[in-house]
Amino acid sequence: MRYVFGPVPSRRLGLSLGIDVIPFKTCSFDCIYCQLGRTTCKTIQRMSFASPEEVVANLKLVLPRVKASYVTLSGSGEPTLSLDLDRLVREIKELTPIPVAVLTNSSLLCRPEVRTALLDADLVVPSLDAASQEVFERTNRPHPELRIDDIIDGIRAFSSDFHGKLWIEVMLVKGVNDDEAELARISSVLRGIRAEKIQLNTVERPPAEPYVRPLSGEEMQRARCHFDERAEVIPAPRDRQARTGNALDEGGDMKAKYAQILGLLERRPCTLADVANGLGLNMNEASKLLGMLLSLGLIRADSSTGGKAYFHRSRGD
């Protein structure tokens, strides 16, 4: 399917059936931690990237044979860049009782038309990784016209108008946005925003930049102390596996995809693009599947030669 992928396991959403209508790495940010690599088209211009009719047709073919916790607009770029976002949300909701989620980097929530486009979603998950311009630029490397104060105002305005579930994600990077002063600033901002959850996350998949490091579990718990009772630490994949069992048992189609990736990596090391292109997967789906295999210790990642490559654990390359 061109626009529909999964369902894939999500640490926050359970099994997520993805909708990806944005060209690969077309985004308003170039986050240092992004598992999909560097942004190649940094833009804040909204446009129609995909035919809504074709997206809906793809979805109609998939829905009868899948079980998912959410249909999620996310993927390879920033979904609010799509001018068809409101129409897509409405038409997906007409097709299925599965709730619709939108994951956004929050960059365009300062625009009233973007906030309006999201109002029919069941769940919106905006991110806020900084509350000062300096840390914002260091962490998210935004389009030069973006200002963190405008983004915060946009999240606040959206939280007042939106009647669905609102969860705020804060991605923490060691030594970049996790100092006490910045955590206090983010926490202060979020106290004025109506959100059901504040989800504290850290780097789990190989990031865009090799210097990016995750916080330890203990450091994440210390960071949580800066926030109010809505804050929760998103468990690392290994922690989640201990509670929910082995992801490789999640269903025949999923098991087949894991087996295909492992079979490919047994033959030769591959990049994310190699895996996606070789197996006909969406890049975001391939990234999530590789992330799960990494968390289970079945593969390893190596960036020592410049490009990021994935290896089967049985290989000595």
* 249 and 197 inside one domain: no
In this structure, the answer to whether residues 187 and 300 fall within a common structural domain is no
- Does residue 317 fall inside a structural domain? no
Overall average pLDDT of the 67-95 stretch: 95
Q: Is residue 239 part of a domain?
A: no
Sequence-ordered list of residues with C-beta below 8 angstroms from that of 228, at least 6 positions apart, any chain? 187, 190, 191, 198
Examine the domain organization and report whether 211 and 267 are in the same domain. Answer: no
What's the CATH code of the domain at 260? 1.10.10.10
Is 200 found in the same domain as 137?
yes
Domain boundary at 192, 216, 234, which?
Answer: 234
The pLDDT of 2-21, averaged and rounded, is 88
State what percent of residues in the chain have pLDDT above 70: 91
d(CA 300, CA 315): 10
Q: Which of 87-91, 111-115, 293-297 has the lowest mean pLDDT?
A: 293-297
Q: Quick one: pLDDT at residue 127?
A: 98
pLDDT number for residue 241: 45
- Rounded-to-integer distance, Cα 65 and Cα 274, Å: 27
CA distance 287 to 267: 19
Check residues 316 and 108 and name the one with the higher pLDDT: 108
Residues written for the chain: 317
pLDDT for res 242 = 40
230 & 251 share domain: no
Q: What value does the CA radius of gyration of the chain take, rounded to a whole number of Å?
A: 19
What is the domain count for the chain? 2
Q: Which residue has the higher pLDDT, 253 or 234?
A: 234
Ranking 153-162, 279-288, 303-312 by mean pLDDT, the lowest is: 303-312
pLDDT category at 284 given cuts 50, 70, 90 is confident
Identify whether 206 is part of a domain.
Answer: yes
Q: What is the CATH number of the domain that holds 215?
A: 3.20.20.70
Whether residue 172 lies inside any domain: the answer is yes
Average pLDDT over residues 76-97: 96
Residue 41 lies in a domain: yes
Please tell me whether residue 116 adopts helix, strand or coil conformation.
Answer: helix
Asked if residue 283 belongs to a domain, the reply is: yes
Mean local confidence (pLDDT), 286-308? 78
| Per-residue model confidence as pLDDT tens digits over 256-265 | 888 888 988 8
Read off the pLDDT of each residue in 79-107 and give the average, rounded to a whole number. 97
Are 287 and 271 within 8 A, CB to CB?
no
Instruction: Examine the domain organization and report whether 188 and 255 are in the same domain.
Output: no
Angle CA(195)–CA(111)–CA(181) in degrees, nearest 5? 50
Together in a domain, 176 and 39: yes
Same domain, 59 and 180: yes
Q: Are 301 and 310 in contact (CB under 8 A)?
A: yes
Helix segments in 45-179, DSSP class H: 52-62, 85-95, 112-117, 133-140, 148-161
Domain endpoint, select from 183, 199, 234: 234
Domain extent for 149: 4-234
pLDDT confidence tier of residue 251, bands split at 50, 70 and 90: low
Q: Is the pLDDT of residue 88 over 50?
A: yes
| pTM attached to this predicted model | 0.86
Q: Are residues 136 and 52 in the same domain?
A: yes
Q: Residue 263 has what pLDDT?
A: 85
Do 227 and 251 belong together in one domain?
Answer: no
Position 246 scores a pLDDT of 47
pLDDT digits (tens, 9 = 90+) for 156-207: 999 999 999 999 999 999 999 999 999 999 999 999 999 999 999 999 888 8
pLDDT in tens, 95-148: 999 999 999 999 999 999 999 999 999 999 999 999 999 999 999 999 999 999
Q: For the chain, give the percent of residues with pLDDT over 90.
A: 64
Residue 95: inside a domain, yes or no? yes
For residues 265 and 131, state if they share a domain. no
